[in-house]
A and B are shown apart, each in its own frame.
Chain A
């Protein structure tokens, strides 16, 4: 136990996560019984009870999703705030890499939110029909989401317990000079090729959405998310910070940068999540123009925002970084 656990942010965070864990545990057993005993054509007491339980589960899932989304933003804010007590850390980048659990935890958090968003979409479609055609599938998705919550709880504890306040961590300082050493960009790309790929994938996603090509949309979206991470950290971010050596995914979420990072990453994940859900429900023979619109809007906002920082810098200073 270290003094990290006396921090107000950490106490609130762990308490909220503990409440969610208990609710998830309750939902887990109810979901298992739905998966085992559901038979829509049966009019027995058990089946009618399961039908009521399925409503309860969708209410619980809505609550979990809302709280998880809020807690994700809070978590990012929290780790940024913790940088003042962790030696060497200047922002969330240092805190999250304080041990090997940090990045895994962040990744699991994102996957959990995606899973619950998928469940809520399936639930919405399921209740539009009269005979719950997606009930089994959505229950499996919910089960996966609940298991992810259990994993997340373990990672929460493992991460926070294993932050050693006596050992300095590496932070943006290490990220600053990254391009001077080994190339940190994927597939051996340089910045120019990274940007060509970034804009090409953007156009490809829009076209594949317009053409209703599910497979192409899924592939391009996932590729775009990966490329976008590097593009934001190693190119667009430098324009947000107006410093060519500052390559950090977290600092842009600080007050000094008007918390713009939340919007940048938020629009990227919104496009990725809603786009992939559009693909998944498409494979189940459902269509949703709303999901498609959200995907396109998020994508356009993300790319426009990133590009706007570059253009703004250029018009202000007459040069690129």
Chain B
């Protein structure tokens, strides 16, 4: 599902290359759940952003579902991301002024689906994330855990095969974090490929099949 070969990301500061990611090689199979573990500043978010096509590598190959995502022109990249990738951000990134149902419909705008169908899909996604009872509430009326569920619904609405989560429990208490992990388990059972970037120790005790990949100072520790 995700194949990364010799990936580098660096910034040139005063003529010196400052590496954020260094010679990353990683192969993630379809349906696999990978926990990308590392401290803050280790390069987890950058790696996730490159896999999502939100950032470009400095060199190296990144294939997502067989497509070289870093080379896709913008208009292809947007539709590819809308159809194939769901992203759950650390700060949820929900639109405060509109309802949760409307927030969940946002990724469908790019795919050109009709409003009626989009509403139905959003309803299904909210149900899957166990937040359908708050569909008409705006994010400012919701708790952190509820916002997170809204973000999950938005990530799932287009039925993507790849789910990327960036520090998904950083703003949640333990109960909500465990509830989130339960949702991940359900998604894993549905056959979704999941990559979670986190430094939360709760992810070390998952009760479903997963692989932990450790990243430190921009390099993978051990075998990717």
Contact = CB atoms under 8 A, between A and B. Distances in A.
B212 interface: no
Interface stretch (B54-62, B116-124, B140-148, B151-159): B54-62
A209 B128 CA distance: 53
A52 B59 CA distance: 12
B23 to A, nearest CB: 13
B72 A45 contact: no
Nearest to A129: B73
A43 B58 contact: no
A40 B71 contact: yes
Majority secondary structure, B binding face = mixed
Interface in B1-53: 5-6, 8
Contacts, number: 35
Contacts of A129: 73
Interface string A82-116: 00000000000000000000000000000000000
B8 A45 contact: yes
Interface in B64-80: 67-68, 70-76
Size range of the chain A interface in the assembly: 10 to 19
Nearest to A44: B59
Contacts of A132: 73
A321 interface: no
B72 A48 contact: no
Nearest to B72: A130
A132 B56 CA distance: 17
A48 B70 contact: yes
Contact of A48 (B57, B74, B75, B76): B57
A128 B77 CA distance: 11
B72 A43 contact: no
Nearest to B5: A43
Contact of B73 (A43, A48, A127): A127
A51 interface: yes
Interface in A29-52: 40, 43-45, 48, 51-52
Contact of A130 (B58, B60, B70, B76): B76
A45 B75 contact: no
B61 A48 contact: no
A286 to B, nearest CB: 16
Contacts of A48: 56-59, 70-71
A129 B71 CA distance: 11
A126 B75 CA distance: 11
A43 B75 contact: no
Interface string B99-131: 000000000000000000000000000000000
Contact of A51 (B5, B60, B71): B71
A132 B57 CA distance: 18
Contacts of B61: 43
Contacts of B68: 43
Residue of B8, B73, B75, B76 most packed against chain A (CB within 10 A): B73
Contacts of B58: 45, 48
A132 B68 CA distance: 13
Nearest to A130: B76
A128 B75 CA distance: 7
Contact of B75 (A51, A55, A127, A131): A127
A221 to B, nearest CB: 31
A50 B89 CA distance: 30
Nearest to B60: A43
Nearest to A46: B59
Interface string A41-74: 0011100100110010000000000000000000
Q: Which 10 A-B pairs have the closest CB atoms?
A: A45-B59, A127-B73, A43-B61, A45-B58, A130-B76, A44-B59, A43-B60, A130-B72, A48-B59, A127-B75
15 contacts: A43-B5, A43-B59, A43-B60, A45-B58, A45-B59, A48-B57, A48-B59, A51-B56, A51-B71, A127-B73, A127-B74, A128-B73, A128-B75, A129-B73, A131-B71
Given A43-B61, A130-B72, 18 more contacts: A43-B5, A43-B60, A45-B8, A45-B58, A45-B59, A48-B56, A48-B57, A48-B71, A51-B56, A52-B56, A126-B73, A127-B73, A128-B75, A129-B73, A130-B71, A130-B73, A131-B71, A132-B73
